[in-house]
């Protein structure tokens, strides 16, 4: 009998740890996905499309902006095998795959350390924009999944240590073509890779990528069955003439990306300072450049031109009070210290961003090697495109987080300079912070949306027309809310909103309670219009 080789067993277990953690994340969050009995945001359109696809009707709703088809077919296949109610579980599975793909890229191409790669992968997974999109059937996490797979293949082209770079480029292109049939933004990859090869004077590869871009863009313009919403949401080039708006949009976007990756951005400045302790002139130049960038940007930044005048600046899915709080009527409750939290988070992000740009300004061309050059170009093109969108939604930034992380990591660590204990501790603390925020907002969001949807269905089962119930935004859109409503579901209490108490009677309420609930006096009420 052979003796047990504990060292080999430990190594084998260590190699399987990322996959084990991926499965664990899925199983841990599965009970929450099973609680989702509602539609939210835009996903009621997508549920409707899946239902149509299952009957052989493949014409997209005229109000749908994403190209969606691939996600729709995947959703239809899943619904045929299980049920359409299982779509949130499918989304959770895709989100867990995002974590695994991100880890795989980090470990193979950037960090070379399992613990560090897992911590950074959790920064993406627990990001508010990523976590929110797990709870339903939105397109962001499906699109992100193919983006990550495409980046994995394209890094094989850049590094040229994974077999034929030509095969890797073809795989990357095919993957981003597949991503095109979820969101049109995948075109950014073809334009970005064209510019990347062009700057490297690799004209043959540049020409290939340009052809791919022109063919797919031409297909979208002249062949793809575009909806009215796709045409209405084409890029608004008039924004190029509005410097204040354009600068504010880009600067706020960079603040978001920095806020989501604070330990990594901090590590960039820390590495620069440590390397230049004996070069006071360069250190002083860095400090002065950082201060100048911070002061000038603060002067030019006009957050009131965006959705909100305070951090988080953009509308749609993540606000100070949680996930998608404007889905329900009224002003949502908050948790203690919320204003201080966002004030200091915003301030830390602004200072760190100025330091990052100061670092780039001082190091100049040295900052951009092959890997960071591509991801720098990708981010510039991507940010430029989404900044010209007619309406800027915060969820557009989800796909920008991985390339931003790759850009940072390429300029912090090398295989001989992995994160030290202090930096790992910072990463772990930040992951814990994001985890608490994700847990708090997810529990609250799922409980309140589920309650509102359930109560709305109960009222309909009792004979109330669905359009007479003012419920979540998805409910109101799906059932075409009437002007003369009979029932209202709101975050407001009669004490906070006396006008509400004057017109409606409170007939039931929810106290969204759960373990470690941080919110102060959480409340959702169901109101009935008073009889005159």
Q: What is the DSSP letter of 532?
A: -
pLDDT score at 362 = 81
What is the value of pTM for the model shown?
0.94
pLDDT digits 0-9 by tens, 325-375: 999 999 999 988 898 999 999 999 999 999 999 888 887 666 667 778 899
State how far the Cα of 300 lies from the Cα of 302, in Å rounded to an integer. 6
Check pLDDT > 50 for residue 164: no
Nearest to 385 by CA among 527, 217, 267: 217
Contact 493, 525 (CB under 8 A): yes
- The span from the CA of 228 to the CA of 223, in Å, is 15
* Pairing of the two strands 318-319 and 524-529: unpaired
Pairing of strands 469-470, 487-490: parallel
pLDDT tens-place string over residues 204-255: 999 999 999 999 999 999 999 999 999 888 888 899 999 999 999 999 999 9
Q: Buried b / exposed e across 455-471, counting CB within 10 Å, b at 16+?
A: bbbebbeeebebbbbbb
The mean pLDDT value of the chain amounts to 90
- From residue 73, alpha-carbon distances to 86, 88, 413 in Å are 14, 15, 41
pLDDT single digits (tens) 73-128: 999 999 999 999 999 999 999 999 999 999 999 999 988 788 889 999 999 999 99
Task: Locate 363 and state its tokens.
Answer: 């190091």
Beta bridge partners of 319: 322
Estimate the crossing angle of helix 114-125 against helix 87-105, to 10 degrees: 140
Locate all alpha helices (DSSP H) within 109-242, ordered by sequence: 114-125, 128-132, 140-159, 165-180, 187-199, 203-222, 228-232
8 Å CB contact between 35 and 450: yes
Bridge partners of 488, per DSSP, are 470, 527
Residue-wise pLDDT for 373-384, tens only, equals 899 999 999 999
The answer to whether the beta carbons of residues 86 and 78 sit under 8 Å apart is yes
Scanning the structure block, which residue is given the tokens 């409340």?
523
Q: Of the given ranges (127-131, 468-472, 501-505), which has the lowest mean pLDDT?
A: 501-505
pLDDT surpasses 80 at 9: no
The answer to whether the CB of 175 falls within 8 A of the CB of 162 is: no
Distance of CA 517 to the CA centre of its chain: 24
Q: What string of DSSP letters covers 89-107?
A: HHHHHHHHHHHHHHHHHII
Structure tokens at 271: 């590495």
Structural contact between residues 399 and 147, judged by C-beta atoms closer than 8 angstroms: yes
393's tokens: 């939604």
Output the pLDDT for position 275: 73
Helix axes 187-199, 203-222, angle to 10 degrees: 160
3-class secondary-structure state, position 527 = strand
**What sign has the CA pseudo-torsion 184, 140, 329, 248?**
negative
pLDDT at 163 over 50: no
Please report, rounded to a whole number, the percentage of residues in the chain having pLDDT higher than 70: 93
Per-residue pLDDT tens digits for 172-210: 999 999 999 999 999 999 999 999 999 999 999 999 999
pLDDT for position 8 = 60
Q: Is 320 in a helix, a strand, or coil? A: coil
Runs of H (alpha helix) within 388-472: 401-409, 421-461
In 3D, which of 465, 507, 508 has the Cα closest to residue 483? 465
């Amino acid at each position: 009998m052979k003796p047990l080789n504990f060292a080999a067993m430990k190594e084998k277990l260590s190699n399987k740890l990322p996959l084990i953690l991926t499965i664990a994340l899925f199983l841990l969050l599965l009970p929450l996905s099973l609680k989702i009995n509602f539609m939210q945001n835009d996903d009621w359109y997508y549920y409707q499309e899946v239902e149509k696809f299952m009957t052989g009707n493949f014409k997209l709703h005229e109000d749908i902006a994403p190209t969606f088809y691939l996600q729709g077919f995947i959703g239809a296949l899943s619904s045929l095998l299980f049920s359409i109610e299982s779509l949130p579980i499918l989304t959770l599975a895709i989100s867990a795959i995002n974590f695994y793909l991100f880890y795989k890229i980090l470990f193979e191409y950037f960090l070379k350390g399992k613990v560090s790669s897992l911590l950074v992968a959790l920064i993406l997974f627990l990001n508010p924009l990523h976590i929110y999109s797990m709870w339903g059937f939105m397109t962001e996490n499906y699109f992100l999944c193919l983006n990550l797979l495409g980046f994995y293949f394209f890094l094989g082209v850049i590094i040229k240590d994974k077999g034929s770079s030509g095969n890797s480029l073809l795989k990357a292109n095919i993957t981003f073509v597949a991503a095109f049939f979820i969101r049109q933004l995948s075109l950014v990859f073809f334009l970005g890779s064209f510019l990347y090869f062009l700057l490297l004077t690799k004209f043959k590869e540049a020409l290939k990528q340009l052809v791919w871009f022109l063919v797919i863009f031409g297909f979208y313009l002249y062949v793809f069955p575009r909806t009215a919403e796709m045409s209405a949401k084409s890029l608004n080039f008039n924004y190029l003439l509005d410097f204040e708006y354009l600068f504010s949009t880009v600067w706020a976007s960079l603040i978001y990306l920095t806020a989501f990756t604070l330990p990594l951005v901090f590590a960039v400045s820390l590495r620069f300072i440590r390397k230049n302790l004996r070069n006071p002139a360069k250190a002083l130049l860095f400090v002065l450049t950082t201060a100048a960038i911070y002061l000038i940007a603060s002067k030019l930044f006009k957050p009131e031109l965006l959705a909100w005048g305070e951090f988080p600046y953009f509308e749609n899915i993540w606000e100070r009070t949680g996930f998608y709080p404007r889905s329900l009527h009224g002003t949502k409750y908050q948790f203690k210290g919320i204003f201080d939290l966002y004030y200091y988070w915003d301030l830390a992000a602004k200072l760190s961003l100025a330091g990052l740009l100061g670092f780039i300004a001082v190091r100049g061309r040295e900052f951009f090697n092959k890997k960071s050059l591509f991801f720098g170009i990708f981010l510039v093109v991507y940010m430029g495109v989404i900044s010209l969108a007619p309406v800027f939604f915060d969820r557009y930034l989800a796909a920008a987080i991985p390339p931003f992380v790759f850009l940072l990591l390429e300029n912090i660590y090398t295989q001989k300079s992995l994160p030290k204990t202090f930096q790992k501790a910072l990463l772990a603390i930040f992951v814990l912070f994001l985890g608490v925020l994700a847990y708090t907002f997810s529990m609250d969001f799922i409980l309140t949306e589920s309650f509102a949807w359930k109560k709305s269905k109960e009222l309909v089962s009792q004979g109330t027309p669905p359009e007479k119930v003012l419920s979540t935004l998805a409910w109101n859109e799906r059932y075409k809310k009437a002007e003369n409503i009979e029932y209202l579901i709101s975050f407001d209490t009669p004490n906070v909103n006396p006008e509400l108490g004057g017109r409606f009677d409170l007939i039931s309420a929810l106290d969204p309670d759960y373990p470690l609930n941080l919110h102060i006096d959480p409340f959702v009420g169901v109101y009935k219009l008073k009889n005159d």
